[in-house]
Structure 1
Amino acid sequence: MLQSLRVWNFALLEEVAVEFGTGLNILTGETGAGKSILIDALGAILGQRISSDAIRSGCDALRVEAVFSCEGDAALAALLAEQEIEYEDELIILRKVARTGKGSILVNGSHVTLTFLKKLAPHLVDIHGQNENLALLREDAQRSLLEGGDEELQRLLAAYAEVYAGWKEKTRLRAERAEEIENIGERLDLLRWQEKEIAEAELNEGEDEELEAEIRRLSHSERLVENAGEASNLLSEDGEEGISVLSALSRITGALDEIARYDDGLSNAQTMIEEAYISLQEASYEVRDYLDAIDADPARLDRIQTRMDVIDRLKKKYGGSIVAVLERLTSVRSELECIDNYDTDMVQLDKDIAAFHERLEETAKSLTARRQAVGTVLSADIERELQGLGMPKARFRIVVTPEEKYTSRGADSLDMLFSANVGEAEKPIEKIASGGELSRIALAIKSIVAARDTGGTSMVFDEIDTGIGGRTAQMVAERIAFVAHYKQVLCITHLPQIACMADTHLYIAKSVKGESTVTQVEALSADERVREIARMASGDDVTEAALANAREMLAGAQQKKQVFQKKAKK
């Protein structure tokens, strides 16, 4: 429910604060006072694009702020949670548009985009105006109307959608497989060549690293022998240059043993020398074994380098590493197996498609039958509402016709047929309904939808009274008042028959302030309402008779509303 709307510097609205009540909120005022501007300001809150031309002359920016009470709206709460917007049953939306073209939108203090604001709008306000009437001509809107209030229809639609998705997926897979097999000859030759090339190489993971290390050793075998031999000689072989390291340590150990016979002062040094001797002796064995193992076989080096050339070529072609090459081999074999199983797969896909199609046909028939049943009941309800809106001879039918083509919504077409007068053939509403008739059809639908949808969305009726008067105006007024028993309604009107139904009556007046024109909005008291109804019925020359007539209209409206209250409680 819309609790309040504040507007700054929006066209004629310099600074306006409006508090709205539950039930029917009527907005009246003289032509040009700015009633539609207030609805445009609300439209800004709902994500409509606002031109900088709407900014009041002499101002740099406009602002609009709306406060909504949205208790128990789980879908709205989920939408806000996606944006991490804090929400406790109250929503404050602030929108600013600057003359430079820049703007900002805040929802409960969090910045959001215009796109997100448009997503919020359906949860907050349903505007019923000329554009919305035209939307009724679209098949998607007509289907939403038909399907929105029937749980069984919703269940069937969900079941159909699941089967349809499965059927489409299997059909897509079959088409892909068929397209693939048409050009499979060259592909098959390539895959078989790749499998042969990789498989014959008999690669092992990590093999390239081991071979690279061996190539380094074989390529430098002479230097390795030279240096290993020198290291071995220095460690353990006495020569012309002097004694070896181990021989020197042996002599040092003997000298220290002699010292230890008389003095243990070098016992620590003696221990370290003995440990060093043992370690170096072990090292000398390793150096000797390494020297003996060095292979300077040129033929071995050629074989390894040839092997590395094969590995490098495969790595360049299939991914840069032996792991990638082996993964490619697995992929190739999988694809070859898939091709080999083509006939089997196609037979299975054909069976799956046939099974899905059988279920699809059955589900679509059930869906169409339910739509026809719901359409019959809804048609009678809308026709009855139209007759109550001053169209006693109106006929209205929702026709659901089975079709051969399956779509995501079923296998049928939908038409809304209308005839306003006796003797006129029923035709689709988009071909024969006038603007006034379409407006009343939409109002009839709103009356029915409001009774079955008790959500918190507010409804706005803009220019609902265009081109009507007398008894029809009274009937329209009663339907709007009926809707207001289920939802908060905001209605701009020029007709006293509608205005007298108000629960909250707001008067919009235009005045001159200095050298500029401003618009103000005030809630009318009981006496002020009588005077405004009299003005709307009789013009500016309000007489006692006009006031008496206004009081009588208000009293009659109150009686009607009490009847609606009793109906709403049933």
Structure 2
Amino acid sequence: MLRGLEIRDMLIIDRLELAFQPGLNVLTGETGAGKSILLDSLGFVLGWRGRAELVRAGAAQGEVTAWFDLPAVHPARAVLEDAAFEPDDELILRRVNTTDGRKTAFVNDRRVSGELLRALSETLIELHGQHDDRGLLNPRGHRALLDAFAGLAPDIDATRQAWARLREARKAAEDAEARIAAVRAEEDYLRHAVAELDALAPEVGEEAALDSQRRLMQGAEKIRADIAKAADALGLQGAEAMLTDASRWLGGAADRTEGRLDEPLAAIERAMLELDTAQRGVEACLSALSFNPSDLEDCEERLFAIRALARKHDVLPDDLVKFADALRAKLDVLDSGVSDLSVLAGAVHTAEQTYDGLADALSAARKSAALQLDAAMASELAPLKMERAVFQTDVTAADPGPDGRDMVAFTVATNPGAPAGPLNKIASGGELSRFLLALKVCLSQAGAGGMTMIFDEIDRGVGGATAAAVGRRLADLAEGGQVLVVTHSPQVAALGSHHWRVEKRQEADATLSTVTPLVDADRIDEIARMLSGDTITDAARAAAKELMQG
């Protein structure tokens, strides 16, 4: 509920603060007094698109603040939570407009975007007037209004979930078909490449090993000759023979040297052991360097084959194994694709059946609710002096979507036998006002209300008993809630629970708009002015009292 509105330096308002109340709040005043400025200012702080230049002449900036009470289950709380706010029982919106057109918005003193203000406004305020395009007169919103009237939110949630599952199933099937089609287009290449890779069967690290082996074999002849000479120098014709002779000669003399040869003999024994190790290593190397000339050819042939295949597929030699696995995976998609497509097609069929069942049930519920809404509208139109008018809710087939496959449009015929047509094209100004009011009453009775409702001169073009009927409907609509009405009708103003008069005053060279709360005699005088004009007579006051007493 809107509890207050503070306006500073906006258009012809210098400073104004209003405290609104539950029930029917009425704003009256002469044409041009500034009533529309109040709505412009409220729309500004709610982020609505409106006038470009709002700052009062001579002021550096304009500012509007609005504060609301938020019950525990108010939908604005969800919007705030999505924006990382911790909702409180009070919501304060503030927006500043500078003379250069810059706009800055705040929610509970935290800077926010205009988009967040607009998202909050959708849960806080409903504005209705003869040129309303935010709800009742917008055909795109008629289905949502009918759904709210019928209380179909759970059914719609189920249908949306089924639609989401159907879309996911269809996308999975389409993606699988696309993958299979892409593989099928290169099937010949894949099978040839995999066969070629399987025939060669390269291994990770093999190219480096072959390259090392090839270089070793290429230099083996020269290396082997030097190593063979070293082997001879170490063998029985070289170092081994000399060490053996030295050991034998020293051993024969050791007994006569009083132990002086023990250490040299031990060193020679150790040297012979190391010499044996060296000999075995050299012999092993000679054995490794002994190869058949065809071995080099075989090594080079495989090395060059691996390198050529790597160049062909533009990968590193060590990545050929991984590349082959990737190609096999593509072929697996093709080979197993038929069975996968069958499973996915079954999932699509199941999802379609589920969605169709829910959409059919939703269509039936909407058609039933349409009849109920038409009957409720007929009951509401009669007291508004439109008993001959016909309101009809048309439910027709539409393309399937998350909210089902129905199109809903409100049509009216203002006289029996006259052709029906769109609500905003058939009805005149006064008739349109009453259609809108009756429709809003029906929707609110079905629990589709809950926000602060603002009616901007919705009683224009009607008077007398019809205006009184409009006032009673507005008063009924305000019970248990809050309705703000900008009106020129004394019959409507007389039924208000709270009354403000909007008027202009001249100060020096400036024209300013003020708003004054009215009670008792002041309120009688204002309603009398609305009845009789500038000159308020006793008869007008008496008529005003009679209107207020009902």
Return the TM-score normalized by structure 1: 0.76
- 8 Å contact from structure 1 (residues 85, 108) kept in 2: no
Encode CA deviations 1:472-520: one digit per residue, 9 max, x unaligned. Answer: 1111111111111132111111111111122221111211122111111
Aligned length, in residue pairs: 502
Q: State the distance in 1 between where 2:219 and 2:381 align.
A: 102
Are 2:45 and 1:45 aligned?
Answer: yes
Q: Which residue of 2 aligns with 1:450?
A: 444
Q: Aligned residue for 1:190?
A: 189
**What is the CA deviation profile of residues 172-218 of structure 1, one whole-angstrom value per residue up to 9, with x for unaligned ones?**
55555666666765322233244335544545556678778889999
**How far has the Cα of 1:155 moved from its partner?**
3.2
Q: 1:119, CA displacement in angstroms?
A: 1.0
SS of the residue corresponding to residue 72 of structure 1 reads coil
Change (3 A) 1:211 1:528: farther
Aligned equivalents of 1:3, 1:322: Cα separation in 2: 74
8 Å CA contact 1:94–1:107 kept in 2: the answer is yes
In the other structure, the counterpart of 1:383 is 378
Label 1:530 to 1:213 Cα distance change in 2 as closer, same or farther (>3 A). farther
Residue 538 of structure 2 is aligned to residue 544 of structure 1: yes
Aligned to 1:501: 495
Give secondary structure in 2 for the equivalent of 1:56. coil
- Residue range with higher mean Cα deviation, 50-59 or 181-190: 181-190
In structure 2, relative to structure 1, the CA distance for the partners of 1:50 and 1:164 (3 Å cut) is closer
* Preserved contact between residue 499 and residue 533 of structure 1 (Cα < 8 Å): yes
Q: What secondary structure is seen at the aligned counterpart in 1 of 2:330?
A: helix
Equivalent AA in structure 2 for residue 92 of structure 1: I
State how far apart, in whole Å, the 1-side matches of 2:451 and 2:500 are: 20
| Structure 1: distance between partners of 2:164 and 2:145 | 24
Q: In the superposition, relative to structure 1, how do residues 332 and 419 fare at CA in structure 2: closer, same or farther (>3 Å)?
A: same
Please give the secondary structure, in 2, of the residue aligned with 1:53.
Answer: coil
Q: Is the 8 A contact 1:85 1:107 kept in 2?
A: no
SS in 1 for 2:412: strand
SS of aligned partner of 2:522: helix
Q: Does 1:364 align with 2:363?
A: no
**Separation (CA, whole Å) in 2 of partners of 1:6 and 1:66:** 6
SS in 2 for 1:415: strand
**Structure 2 residue identity aligned to 1:551:** K
Contact 1:454 1:487 in 2 (8 A): no
Q: Is 2:334 the partner of 1:339? A: yes
Structural mapping, 1:284-323, within 5 Å: 302=300, 306=304, 309=307, 313=311, 316-317=314-315
Given the superposition, is the C-alpha separation of residues 315 and 532 from structure 1 closer, same or farther in structure 2, using an over 3 Å criterion?
A: same
Greater shift, 473-482 or 196-205, is seen at 196-205
Letter in 1 for 2:41: A
Query: What is the alpha-carbon distance in structure 2 between the residues aligned to residue 115 and residue 522 of structure 1?
Result: 33
Post-superposition Cα deviations, 1:43-66, rounded to whole Å, max 9, x if no partner, equal 012211355522111223211111
- The DSSP-based 3-state class of the residue aligned with 1:132 is coil
The sequence identity of aligned pairs, in percent, is 31
Matched, 1:419 2:439: no
Query: d(CA) in 1 for partners of 2:88 and 2:448?
Result: 20
1:461 aligns with 2:455: yes
State how far apart, in whole Å, the 2-side matches of 1:194 and 1:43 are: 68
- Are 2:549 and 1:555 aligned? yes
Residues 404 and 454 (structure 1), Cα distance of their counterparts in 2 relative to 1, 3 Å cut: closer
Change (3 A) 1:454 1:179: closer
TM-score calculated relative to the size of structure 2 = 0.79
> Which 5+ residue runs of structure 2 have no aligned equivalent?
228-269
Q: Does 1:429 align with 2:427?
A: no
Question: In structure 2, what residue type is equivalent to 1:158?
Answer: D
Shift of the 215–378 alpha-carbon distance from structure 1 to 2, 3 Å rule, reads farther
Shift of 1:290: 11
Amino acid at match of 1:161: R
What SS does the corresponding residue of 2:62 show, helix, strand or coil?
A: strand
3-state SS of the aligned residue for 2:526?
helix
Q: Could you tell me which residue of structure 2 aligns to residue 514 of structure 1?
A: 508
Q: Verify: 1:527 aligned to 2:538, yes or no.
A: no
What is the match of residue 265 of structure 2?
none
8 Å CA contact retained: 1:462, 1:491? yes
Measured after TM superposition, the shift of residue 437 of structure 1 is 2.2
User: Where does residue 392 of structure 2 map in the other structure?
Assistant: 397
Distance 2:208 2:475 in 1: 86
- Give the 3 Å change call, closer, same or farther, for CA 142–516 of structure 1 in structure 2: same
d(CA) in 1 for partners of 2:75 and 2:439? 23
Provide closer, same or farther for how the CA distance between residues 494 and 308 of structure 1 changes in structure 2, counting only shifts above 3 A.
same
Alpha-carbon distance in 1 for matches of 2:59, 2:217: 87
For residue 370 of structure 1, report the CA deviation from its aligned partner: 1.2
Report if the CA contact (8 A) 2:392-2:412 is conserved: yes
Q: Report the structure number with the largest CA radius of gyration.
A: 2
More off after superposition, 351-360 vs 2-11: 351-360
Shift of 1:364: 2.9
Question: Could you tell me whether the CA contact under 8 Å between 1:450 and 1:487 is conserved in 2?
Answer: no
Letter in 1 for 2:496: A
CA distance in 1, matches of 2:208, 2:9: 76
